[in-house]
Amino acid sequence: MKQFDQYLLRQFFAIFLMALLGFVSIFIIVDLIENLDRFIDNHVPWKMVGLYYVYSFPWFVSIALPMSVLIGTVFSVGGFVKRNEWTAMKAAGVSLYRLALPLFLVGCFIGGGSFILDNEWVSWGNEKRFEIDRDYVKRRSRHKLKNVLNNIFLQKNSHSHISIGKYRIKKEIGTDIAIVQLDDKSILQRVDAKKITWNPDSSLWILKDYSIRSFLKNGQESQVVISKEDTLIELGFSPEDIKKQARSPEELNYFELTSRIAQLRENGVDTLRWEVIRYMKISFSFTSLILILFGIPLVVYKENNSLSFGAGMSVFVIFSYYAFIKFGQSLGFNGILEPLMSAWLGNILFFTGGAYLLVSAKK
């Protein structure tokens, strides 16, 4: 059966790669047409336009992977059925499960690659292309930074914790500041201020209406400075560090999201949306495997008209699958479902449907 596996996988990868190239090309062309007026109106250099789509490439590949896998499955297995090779295999005692085995293994491999792609390249590419969009496409930018950030928490190291109630990005002004310096077991210093303003000339912060308290290791105050006046001070962070808090979840990989969620939880911030997106990064990597499971029975059910039926159903399955993913995500964002369940809703439904079709298909 080794030759059969190689024969099937050669056909699968030939169709899969052509479909992937086609989908990615379509995505780039459609996106370019949609953004062309924005690039021209804002006089974006063509070099930056090219870089924008270089950075967008991993994202387009990530979106196209599941669709290409389904197309590759339907047309490679459908070709077997159309050429009566599947009939000969059944006569030789080969089951549908044995036919599906190499494709399932490929689906697991592509799923793992999808997770790596999303966490190593897609998040990095999104960060870079969002920066280009914000810096060059100033009007009607699709990826604007929020002008006002609320409940910001920074941790420069294990001993320095910073919280800012509200920060205005353009004016570089923060209010309700608390900075705590810790050692292993106790607070060494606490700085509170009503307002901080960045001074670009000195690269220091201007504190207003502040207090600085120093503590001994037993918790007793050793020194207190309280003032309504202004003073310059080094706080260990810059406006750029704060701007990073405005990065969207699409710019963070799974591990960065996990770290950010833990940090926000420690400071009492609602992390519902962040958790849904984090679980989505795992569930989406299983999409290729589930679509293979769904695609194989589509071309076996109607052997006399396998390719046309399978191709038509593929379009329906793809759109339905993405619709259920968005539906589950929406339920999670609104707190109707738990984050884990909302991220896996589409996978659970389509895995169940695909498994049922595979079991009930002709063996």
Distance CA(231)–CA(204), nearest Å, equals 10
Looking at every residue in the chain, the average pLDDT score rounds to: 82
Helix (H, G, I), strand (E, B) or coil at 109: helix
Hey, what's the torsion of the CAs at 20, 26, 29, 30, to 10 degrees?
Answer: -130
pLDDT digits (tens, 9 = 90+) for 310-348: 667 777 888 888 888 889 989 998 889 999 999 999 899
Give the global pTM: 0.73
Q: Is the pLDDT of residue 145 over 70?
A: no
Q: Among 243, 232, 164, 153, which Cα is nearest to 200's?
A: 232
72-108: b or e for each residue (b if 16 or more CB lie within 10 Å)? Answer: bbbbbbbbbbbeeebeebeeeeeebeebbebbeebbe
Distances (CA, A) of 209 to 130, 215, 237, 352: 37, 20, 19, 61
Identify the band that residue 212 occupies on the pLDDT scale cut at 50, 70 and 90.
confident
Q: Supply angle C-alpha 310, 114, 359, rounded to 5.
A: 40
Those residues with Cβ within 8 angstroms of residue 122's Cβ, 6 or more apart along the chain or in another chain: 58, 59, 62
Distance CA(169)–CA(181), nearest Å, equals 25
pLDDT at 1: 58
pLDDT at 301: 65
Those residues with Cβ within 8 angstroms of residue 86's Cβ, 6 or more apart along the chain or in another chain: 77, 80, 99, 300, 303
Token couple for 344: 């896996």
pLDDT digits (tens, 9 = 90+) for 273-297: 889 989 998 999 999 999 898 888 8
pLDDT at 21: 95
Token couple for 321: 């699958």
Distance CA(325)–CA(290), nearest Å, equals 13
Distances (CA, A) of 256 to 129, 134, 276: 18, 22, 14
Is pLDDT larger for residue 264 or for residue 303?
Answer: 264
DSSP secondary-structure letter at 290?
H
